[in-house]
Amino acid sequence: MPQQRLTPRAWGLLLLLSAIWGASFLSNRAALEEVGVATTVAFRVAGAAVALWLWIAARRLPVPRDPAYLWRFPVMGLLNNVIPFSLIVWGQQHVPSGLASILNATTAVFTVLVVTFVFPDERLTARKMLGVLLGFLGVAVAMGASALAAFDLASLGQIAILGASLSYAFAATFARHATRGLRPEVAAAGMLTAGALVMVPAALLIDGLPTLAYHPATWAALIYLALCASALAYLLYYAVLTLAGAGNLSLVTLLIPPFAITLGALVYDEALAPRAYAGFALLALGLLILDGRLPLPRPKKSRELSGGSR
């Protein structure tokens, strides 16, 4: 199926979404200055859930009554919010924002593999296999040989972020059928609410009752994560999906790291090793091959096969 054309409006929304999610890595780092991992995630999912339910109420969107969603939303909340948000925020205690965003771009690579094993009609073609191999090669280059050799907190932080990408892949696969027929805003609000029901008690248990006496920068980071990086981002995500299709939407995976890397350098003076950029280049090449944006040359049929050889 050919890609839909990216209109100027779709490009604008796509770039805005990429910038918002790119800045979320900096907001995680800013929040961690005063707030624990669990509390940061709890603020994000609970605040986003409230914002989306207010949006749903204002627009009078239909809410599902099927009891099946009583287990579907918790599964989605765990796979798409609780697990990946927690792993990324924990990992960012030991990994620069830019590198975290590069490793998180492996979501598309993991999704291809998970979908292949879950759905019989999805085959791991030669093109997909090449894209997956390039993606993992890019990850290996970005992390560096010393990451696994030393196996310190920095290594564990990188592995945690890769674990978040794997969780996102399972979430995307599960959502194919679990949220079919639902308005996207309602599906997002449902899973965020389920995530909040897990994370708020977990935050109180792990971090204790928050003092709320945070610096303005910390509050700004927490509010940004909830309202911009989650609630608004979900609305933008589905708007771009409607305007440009899933193939074009996948470009967000490639556009997030440049924003995160640039903001990390400007705000925190982060400097990534050259191998991180080389790894991202390989990963980007793999992703472009995966979604068919960079087609592979087809081998020409030999004369023997055509019966013309003499």
- Residue 69 forms part of a structural domain: yes
Residue 289: predicted pLDDT:
85
Residue 97 has pLDDT above 80, yes or no: yes
Which of the pair, 121 or 139, is modelled with greater confidence?
139
- Residue 102 forms part of a structural domain: yes
- Residue 262 forms part of a structural domain: yes
pLDDT tens, position by position, 176-198: 788 877 888 999 999 999 999 99
3-state secondary structure (DSSP) of residue 7: coil
Residue 61: predicted pLDDT:
92
pLDDT tens, position by position, 202-239: 999 999 999 889 999 999 999 999 999 999 999 998 88
Q: What is the mean pLDDT of residues 104-126?
A: 85
Residue 4 has pLDDT above 70, yes or no: no
Residue 148: predicted pLDDT:
61
| Mean pLDDT score of the chain | 87
Residue 268 has pLDDT above 50, yes or no: yes
Neighbouring residues of 53: CB distance < 8 A, sequence distance ≥ 6: 189, 193
Alpha helices in the chain (DSSP H): 8-31, 37-59, 69-77, 83-91, 97-104, 107-118, 126-143, 145-150, 153-178, 184-206, 216-223, 233-249, 252-268, 274-290, 303-306
Residue 18 has pLDDT above 60, yes or no: yes
Amino acid identity of residue 150, one-letter, is A
Residue 238: predicted pLDDT:
87
Count structural domains, the chain: 1
- Residue 302 forms part of a structural domain: no
Q: What is the mean pLDDT of residues 146-151?
A: 66
Residue 306 has pLDDT above 60, yes or no: no
- Residue 307 forms part of a structural domain: no
pLDDT tens, position by position, 33-92: 999 999 999 999 999 999 999 999 999 999 888 888 889 999 999 999 999 999 999 999
Nearest to 138 by CA among 290, 305, 19: 290
Residue 310: predicted pLDDT:
36
Domain holding 177, by residue range, is 8-294
Neighbouring residues of 283: CB distance < 8 A, sequence distance ≥ 6: 102, 105, 106, 109, 134, 135, 138, 139, 142
Residue 188: predicted pLDDT:
93
Residue 1 has pLDDT above 50, yes or no: no
- Residue 308 forms part of a structural domain: no
Residue 149: predicted pLDDT:
67
- Residue 254 forms part of a structural domain: yes
- Residue 304 forms part of a structural domain: no
Neighbouring residues of 62: CB distance < 8 A, sequence distance ≥ 6: 183, 186
Band of pLDDT at residue 166, cut at 50, 70 and 90: very high
Please give the model's pTM, rounded to 2 decimal places.
0.88
Residue 125 has pLDDT above 70, yes or no: yes
Distance CA 240, CA 234 (A): 10
Q: What is the mean pLDDT of residues 87-107?
A: 94
Q: Per mean pLDDT, which of 45-54, 94-103, 254-263 is the most reliable?
A: 45-54
